[in-house]
């Protein structure tokens, strides 16, 4: 059943400072609302439980992509369309661009934001595996101050985050250390466009003197949170890419992830596909 629209509040602050004051004065009362591509789906289905939202969309402070020698920093309201069309992101962070291009269709990509994708905290989200594999950091701001933290560790459990009720996610920062890396991103869904993933894998690595370094493996839709697979990385790091390593990596991954049966897929399919994607990544890195 559809929601009763007059029962919802969507307050538009004049500035980021005003937004922080609003949510700071009544912590927990106001939740952030960005492009709406997730929240409006819940509204239409009568499943949007929270009633009071702060409209972040008009806040210029949360937009823009800034490039320095060491980092690319994206405003939380950067849309998937903006991600895909940015030259530095395309050349140095192709997995993020690919994730953006495989999220919904163009109309979704024009509204959906990177910050919203993180804070919505779906384990099936498309860009978080790429952000984890690129060692992203995120900035949380409240009237008490700002803090940067690694994105890895931000998701604590299903829809649970290391974020206080008076904080907003404002920026996402990527270290420019990807030169010479293999970038492997693959989302497996029911169809090519407009599908939510069954399994999604983002991985980076570098082969130096025949050995794998800078290995980072992240998966979506295989656990209550988007997962950085540290044990699997340990099984690969410093190893030659031979049959033994591939076997060990595969076995480790199968122990590390905990997919479930749900409307989109089954646990056994997800285990098999996740393992196959990992093997494909390693084969790609070798060649």
Partner 1 sequence: MAKTAIEFTVNGESHKLEVFPMARLLDVLREQLHLTGTKEGCGEGECGACTVKLDGRIVNSCLVPVAQVNGASITTIEGVAQGDELHAVQQAFIDHGGAQCGICTPGMILAAVDLLERNPEPTEADIRNGLAGNLCRCTGYMKIFESVVRACQK
- Kindly list the residues in this chain that would bind partner 1 in the complex (CB under 8 A): 5-12, 33, 35-37, 40-41, 43-45, 53, 55, 57-58, 81, 104-108, 110-111, 192-194
* Residue 93 tokens, joined: 């962070």
Closer residue to partner 1 in complex, CB, 38/139: 38
Burial of 264 (0-12, 13-18, 19+ CB in 10 A): middle
**Considering beta carbons, is residue 112 or 220 the nearer one to partner 1?**
112
- Minimum CB distance to partner 1 smaller for 63 or for 176: 63
State the Cα–Cα distance between residues 215 and 233, nearest whole angstrom: 6
Q: Is 53 or 281 the residue whose CB approaches partner 1 more closely? A: 53
Determine contact, residues 206/180, Cβ cutoff 8 Å: yes
CB of 79 to partner 1, least distance (A): 9
Task: Tell the smallest beta-carbon distance from residue 31 to partner 1 (Å).
Answer: 13
Shortest distance (Å) from residue 4 CB to partner 1: 10
- Give the residue with the Cβ less far from partner 1, 50 or 159: 50
Helix axis angle, 243-256 to 267-286, nearest 10°:
150
Spell out the alpha helix ranges (H) of the chain. Answer: 16-25, 39-44, 80-84, 87-92, 94-101, 106-109, 114-119, 127-133, 230-236, 243-256, 267-286
**75 versus 259: smaller Cβ distance to partner 1:** 75
The structure tokens listed for 2 are: 């559809």
Task: Kindly state the smallest distance separating residue 29's Cβ from partner 1, in Å.
Answer: 13
- In the complex, the smallest distance separating the C-beta of residue 37 from partner 1, rounded to whole angstroms, is 5
Measured distance CA(255)–CA(198) in Å, rounded: 18
Do the beta carbons of residue 139 and residue 171 sit within 8 Å? yes
Smallest gap from Cβ 111 to partner 1, in A, equals 5
Backbone φ, ψ for residue 248 (5° rounding) = -60, -45
């Amino acid at each position: 059943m559809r929601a009763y629209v007059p029962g919802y509040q969507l307050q538009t602050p004049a500035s980021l400072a005003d937004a922080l004051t609003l949510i700071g004065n009544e912590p927990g009362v106001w939740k952030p609302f960005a492009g709406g591509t997730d929240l409006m789906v819940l509204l239409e289905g009568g499943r949007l439980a929270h009633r009071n939202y702060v409209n972040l969309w008009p806040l210029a402070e949360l937009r823009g992509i800034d490039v320095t020698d060491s980092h690319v920093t994206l405003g939380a309201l950067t849309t998937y369309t903006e991600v895909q069309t940015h030259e530095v992101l395309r050349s140095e962070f192709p997995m993020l661009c690919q994730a953006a291009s495989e999220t919904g269709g163009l109309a979704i990509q024009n509204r959906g934001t990177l910050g919203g994708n993180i804070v919505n905290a779906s384990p099936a989200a498309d860009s978080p595996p790429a952000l984890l594999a690129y060692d992203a950091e995120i900035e949380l701001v409240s009237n008490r101050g700002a803090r940067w933290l690694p994105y890895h560790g931000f998701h604590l459990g299903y829809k649970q985050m290391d974020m206080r009720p008076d904080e907003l996610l404002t920026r996402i920062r990527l270290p420019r250390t990807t030169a010479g890396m293999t970038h492997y991103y693959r989302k497996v869904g029911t169809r090519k466009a407009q599908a939510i993933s069954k399994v999604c894998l983002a991985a980076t690595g570098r082969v130096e003197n025949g050995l794998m370094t800078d290995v980072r493996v992240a998966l979506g839709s295989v656990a209550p949170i988007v997962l950085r697979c540290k044990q699997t990385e340990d099984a690969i790091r410093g190893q030659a890419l031979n049959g033994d390593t591939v076997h060990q990596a595969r076995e480790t991954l199968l122990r590390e992830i905990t997919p479930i049966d749900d409307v989109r897929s089954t646990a056994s399919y997800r285990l098999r596909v996740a393992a196959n994607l990992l093997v494909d990544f390693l084969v790609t890195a070798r060649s």
